Chains A and B, each alone.
Chain A
Amino acid sequence: MKRKTTLGVTALGAVLALGLSACGGGGAATPSQSGSAPAGGGAKAEFNAALTQVFNPSDKKGGILKFANAGDWDSLDPADTYYGYSWNFIRLYGRSLVMFKPAPGKESTQLVPDLAETLGVPSDDAKTWTYKLRAGVKFEDGTPITSKDVKYGVLRSLDKEVFPDGYTYFNDTLDLPKDYKGPYKSKGVNTDKAIETPDDQTIVFHLKQAYSGFDYFAQLPATIPVPEAKDTGAKYKEHVISSGPYKFDKNEIGKGFNLVRNDQWDAASDPNRKALPDGYEVTTNVNADDIDNRLLSGDLHVDIAGTGAQPATLGRVLTDPALKANTDNPTITRLWYTSINGNVKPLDNLDCRKAVEYAADKVAYQTAYGGEFSGGQIATSLLPPGIPGHQDINPYPAGADNHGDVTKAKEALTACGQPNGFETNISYRAERPKEKATAEALQQSLAKVGIKLTLKPFPQADYFALYAGKPGYAKDNKLGLAVNGWGADWPDGYGFLQQMVDSRVIRETGGSSNISVRDPEVDKLLDQASLETDVAKREPIWGQIDQKVMDDAYILPGIWAKSLLIRGKGVTNVFYSEATGMYDYLSMGLQ
């Protein structure tokens, strides 16, 4: 009820704002001061204003939106990108079959058709999914997009040697010919039993086993059409052929790129995109503090990584009401946690793992990640509150003040046969100061019960492929604990849990994000859930899995992440999308 009222006010505000801007037409477009109500204000500039509604709504076209990235893109290629911000941004130059609705708050988790006319039509057993493409959609060079381009895009994404960064959902679920290695290596192999294209507008996916949530797969960037004739394999990322409203103009990998309007894009074929700015300018590998400062000064519109303000900025923003009013503080569907590796003695013993769970200082964990605002909420289990199926459980209460329960931890150590504690190592990604701080914090709090940790930093690029994520290496080098984190691929139990707790994703050659959960029961529950087509019956299973993994004590949950997002000055249509865990990049415009 309350929510409805707020929305009503918003709409009214928007109308007023439209009127105002019409009256003031012709005046110089000065960027509004932070704190005062912006000229196009649908929501007042206040803390969390863009969380559940559109802030500063407008339909004004033009201008160049400036984005900056503190790191480098994993890849611009739809087959090879696995960063949340990249999936958010890619919709500007690529259209997948289905997408998350570009709308604020909860509404953003709804799937809506994009390249397809409707959501997927499943067969009765949910093993076959059919999509019909919209008519009149073209690539940037004017060639019409057909279902074969979509099929080709999916097939090429299967080649993980060429595209190592991406997910493996399609590899795992499509009913592919045996030993199929993608269109580059398995040239000419008939793949119709996996993906059929009966005509240019229709595409049919055949799965190995029923999966009720296939529409979530269909929103993955891999379903963005790729013209086979223009595919340059690993080099395609240098110039992706656009199917969306913008196309690449200049692209210098490692430095940045810019997008300009794609004149072949037809608004009539696309109900989801506003395409307000005339272009986008993206700089990569920029100093993170510099990004914050430029955001606050108005030099820059969006910090694309969407992970929130840097620690140095916190003090400045949180203590200044005017600056704070231009921020949003959502809880995102990401868990920062520490893997407890049961392959390393004495952590093969459940009680020793429990000792770690009890002894950990959760407040220190939270502070290491940035405190209450930019760190997150102390987590007591795996599933973040935003994921359906979440239930409030706390199997290992960390004492009254969350600083760790020394008594319980010592009891567990005694039960494990190590009453004086033991020694093991903790690995973390060297380039991540927050993970370093976490490792230091755990070292401090576990030392109180006699568990001695040695810090082992590893380069981020190879953390999963060669070190913590490689079972042999982790075992030989006694990496008992590994600082880790996981964000939902999409806001659903499967999208959150599968890559994190399914023991079958662990490979001897390394590279999986799950590095500690090995429980056949959990695998069974996952299978059961993905076969279950009834949502009401499916969602409780996620909760069961959560409980089971916690009972196994393979994961020490740290915090459910929050981020302090700064709204860029003069940006219109700013709103937080729960599906991506950051601002929606599709609808933004400039005043």
Chain B
Amino acid sequence: MTAPLDVSGTELEAAPEAVLAGAQGKAIQGRSLGQIAWMRLKRDKVALTGAGVVIFLILVAVFAPLIVGWLGHPPNDFNQDLISSETLAPKDGTGIGWDHLFGVEPVNGRDLFSRIVYGARISLLIAFLATLLSVAIGTILGVMAGYLGGWVDSVISKAMDVFLAFPLLVFAIALAGIVPDSAFGLSGDALRVSLLVFIIGFFNWPYIGRIMRGQTLSLREREFIDAARSLGARGPYIIFREMLPNLMAPILIYATLLIPTNIVFEAALSFLGVGVRPPTATWGGMLSDAVRFYTIPHFMFFPGMAIFITVLAFNLLGDGLRDALDPRAR
């Protein structure tokens, strides 16, 4: 994360602890911010649990076909022999058993376990890509605003104000609703996923942008930037070589904290029926189906818990990262 050549804030940040360690009679050892952060994170059991769950979820999403191949049934296959034709509920109430780990859906008897596993793919994919987009736009514009100042700053800041005044959800639903089934050279799931990534990512950048602007503003006044400037460094060099490494910590923190927001956002859009098209499984979509069958609670429980656990894990990890990388921000 931190370049060895980096003579800037890293050492400054590290200095007090290094001195303290030295005072206790140990050999003085230079540690980078990354190392310190990693040490702090290692001690934070809660954050590590979060990280573990996140890694687990990513593996589940990546290897969904394999997992379902071993433990489940194809996510879109019907098992109507398990369903009562009168009440539409699974005949034994849930259908939970070795064959169907999480039971089956009412009406069509699709395997809930494999739909949850496949749902993780859509959820994580959209959340990650959308976060990437927000972070990219937010960082570029935020740093520009903070570093360049003047009219650039005021234009970008005002733009952020405007974006924050948009009723994001209403706008997203309306937009996702009016885009037809094939457009911009894409169709089907690919179009829906790109569309959702764009909508979620594009409207969330001001949150990252504001933080980046603030960070850049404070960095700009620091001595090491002045030093670099007096040595003849130009704007791009200062931004990319001096500032960006110092912004990596906040970027990482807020990206981690934005992912859960985006997961909920995607779930909300699917819940409201403008997400990825059926029969592709999404957690929000399953939840919205489950509402009609609230008397069959396991149907609602599993997608709800999937969203909850995923969001919680990312939040725990994000909090942990913040504590580790930026101890003053507690």
Residues of A within 8 A of B (CB): 289, 310-316, 318-319, 363-364, 366-368, 370-373, 430-431, 433, 436-437, 439-441, 443-444, 454-457, 459, 477
* 28 chain-A/chain-B pairs, Cβ below 8 angstroms: A289-B291, A289-B292, A311-B106, A311-B293, A312-B293, A312-B295, A312-B296, A313-B295, A314-B88, A315-B296, A363-B80, A364-B78, A367-B80, A367-B83, A367-B108, A368-B107, A371-B88, A372-B85, A372-B86, A439-B278, A441-B78, A441-B108, A443-B76, A443-B279, A444-B77, A455-B277, A457-B278, A477-B181
How far apart are the CA atoms of A376 and B296 in the complex, in Å?
Answer: 22
Say whether A316 contacts B295, CB under 8 Å.
yes
Within 8 A of A (CB), among B128-186: 177, 181
How far apart are the CA atoms of A477 and B77 in the complex, in Å?
Answer: 26
Q: Verify if B52 is at the interface (C-beta below 8 Å from A).
A: no
How far apart are the CA atoms of A19 and B203 in the complex, in Å?
Answer: 70
CB neighbours (8 Å) of B84 from chain A are 371
CB neighbours (8 Å) of B278 from chain A are 436, 439-440, 455, 457
Say whether A371 contacts B85, CB under 8 Å.
yes
Q: Verify if B24 is at the interface (C-beta below 8 Å from A).
A: no
Q: Given A311-B292, A312-B292, verify A367-B273 contact (CB < 8 Å).
A: no
Give me the 7 closest cross-chain CB pairs, A-B, nearest first: A315-B87, A312-B295, A371-B85, A315-B295, A314-B87, A444-B78, A312-B294
Say whether B277 contacts A370, CB under 8 Å.
no
How far apart are the CA atoms of A437 and B293 in the complex, in Å?
Answer: 14
CB neighbours (8 Å) of A440 from chain B are 76, 108, 278-279
B291 — nearest CB in chain A belongs to which residue?
A289
Say whether B86 contacts A367, CB under 8 Å.
no
Q: Verify if B289 is at the interface (C-beta below 8 Å from A).
A: yes
CB neighbours (8 Å) of B296 from chain A are 312, 315
How far apart are the CA atoms of A456 and B277 in the complex, in Å?
Answer: 8
How far apart are the CA atoms of A439 and B278 in the complex, in Å?
Answer: 9
Q: Interface readout for B278-310 with A: 1 if CB under 8 Å, 0 if not?
A: 110000000001011111100000000000000
CB of B108 to closest CB in A, whole Å? 6
CB neighbours (8 Å) of B292 from chain A are 289, 310-312, 433
How far apart are the CA atoms of A313 and B292 in the complex, in Å?
Answer: 9
CB of A319 to closest CB in B, whole Å? 7
How far apart are the CA atoms of A128 and B87 in the complex, in Å?
Answer: 52
CB neighbours (8 Å) of A310 from chain B are 292
CB neighbours (8 Å) of B80 from chain A are 363-364, 367
Q: Verify if B89 is at the interface (C-beta below 8 Å from A).
A: yes
Given A289-B292, A312-B292, A364-B80, 18 more pairs with CB closer than 8 A: A310-B292, A311-B107, A312-B293, A312-B296, A314-B88, A315-B296, A316-B295, A319-B87, A364-B108, A371-B85, A373-B86, A440-B108, A444-B76, A444-B77, A444-B78, A444-B108, A457-B277, A459-B177
How far apart are the CA atoms of A312 and B299 in the complex, in Å?
Answer: 12
Q: Verify if B188 is at the interface (C-beta below 8 Å from A).
A: yes
Contact-size category for B: 20 to 34
For A367, A373, A443, which residue has the most chain B Cβ atoms within 10 angstroms?
A367
A310 — nearest CB in chain B belongs to which residue?
B292
Within 8 A of A (CB), among B85-107: 85-89, 106-107
How far apart are the CA atoms of A318 and B86 in the complex, in Å?
Answer: 8
For A311, A318, A454, which residue has the most chain B Cβ atoms within 10 angstroms?
A311
How far apart are the CA atoms of A373 and B89 in the complex, in Å?
Answer: 13
B292 — nearest CB in chain A belongs to which residue?
A311
CB of B250 to closest CB in A, whole Å? 41
Say whether B107 contacts A367, CB under 8 Å.
yes
Within 8 A of A (CB), among B107-131: 107-108
A445 — nearest CB in chain B belongs to which residue?
B78
CB neighbours (8 Å) of A314 from chain B are 86-88
CB neighbours (8 Å) of B107 from chain A are 311, 367-368, 437
Q: Interface readout for B49-88 with A: 1 if CB under 8 Å, 0 if not?
A: 0000000000000000000000000001110100111111
Say whether A366 contacts B85, CB under 8 Å.
yes
CB neighbours (8 Å) of A477 from chain B are 181
CB neighbours (8 Å) of B289 from chain A are 433
B279 — nearest CB in chain A belongs to which residue?
A440
A430 — nearest CB in chain B belongs to which residue?
B273
CB neighbours (8 Å) of A363 from chain B are 80, 85
How far apart are the CA atoms of A440 and B107 in the complex, in Å?
Answer: 11
A289 — nearest CB in chain B belongs to which residue?
B294
Say whether B273 contacts A456, CB under 8 Å.
no
B182 — nearest CB in chain A belongs to which residue?
A477
CB neighbours (8 Å) of B295 from chain A are 312-313, 315-316
CB neighbours (8 Å) of A437 from chain B are 107-108
CB neighbours (8 Å) of B291 from chain A are 289
B110 — nearest CB in chain A belongs to which residue?
A440
CB of B273 to closest CB in A, whole Å? 6
How far apart are the CA atoms of A439 and B277 in the complex, in Å?
Answer: 12
B106 — nearest CB in chain A belongs to which residue?
A311
Question: Per a CB cutoff under 8 Å, which of B77, B78, B89, B181 touches A315?
Answer: B89
CB neighbours (8 Å) of A455 from chain B are 277-279
How far apart are the CA atoms of A313 and B293 in the complex, in Å?
Answer: 8
CB neighbours (8 Å) of A459 from chain B are 177
How far apart are the CA atoms of A364 and B77 in the complex, in Å?
Answer: 12
Q: Given A440-B279, A477-B181, verify A311-B78 contact (CB < 8 Å).
A: no
For A314, A454, A477, which residue has the most chain B Cβ atoms within 10 angstroms?
A314
For B89, B107, B277, B292, which residue has the most chain A Cβ atoms within 10 angstroms?
B107
B293 — nearest CB in chain A belongs to which residue?
A312
How far apart are the CA atoms of A454 and B273 in the complex, in Å?
Answer: 17
Q: Given A363-B85, A457-B278, verify A368-B108 contact (CB < 8 Å).
A: yes
How far apart are the CA atoms of A443 and B188 in the complex, in Å?
Answer: 15
CB of B298 to closest CB in A, whole Å? 13
B188 — nearest CB in chain A belongs to which residue?
A454
Say whether A371 contacts B294, CB under 8 Å.
no
How far apart are the CA atoms of A441 and B88 in the complex, in Å?
Answer: 14
CB of B80 to closest CB in A, whole Å? 6
Say whether A371 contacts B86, CB under 8 Å.
yes
CB neighbours (8 Å) of B177 from chain A are 459
CB of A360 to closest CB in B, whole Å? 13
How far apart are the CA atoms of A455 and B294 in the complex, in Å?
Answer: 25
How far apart are the CA atoms of A238 and B291 in the complex, in Å?
Answer: 34
CB of B201 to closest CB in A, whole Å? 24
CB of B289 to closest CB in A, whole Å? 7
How far apart are the CA atoms of A255 and B108 in the complex, in Å?
Answer: 34
How far apart are the CA atoms of A61 and B265 in the complex, in Å?
Answer: 52
CB neighbours (8 Å) of A370 from chain B are 88
CB neighbours (8 Å) of B106 from chain A are 311
A316 — nearest CB in chain B belongs to which residue?
B295
How far apart are the CA atoms of A172 and B235 in the complex, in Å?
Answer: 76
Say whether A367 contacts B188, CB under 8 Å.
no
CB of A478 to closest CB in B, whole Å? 11
CB neighbours (8 Å) of B88 from chain A are 311, 314-315, 367, 370-371
Say whether A318 contacts B87, CB under 8 Å.
yes
CB neighbours (8 Å) of A316 from chain B are 295
CB of A375 to closest CB in B, whole Å? 9
How far apart are the CA atoms of A156 and B80 in the complex, in Å?
Answer: 51
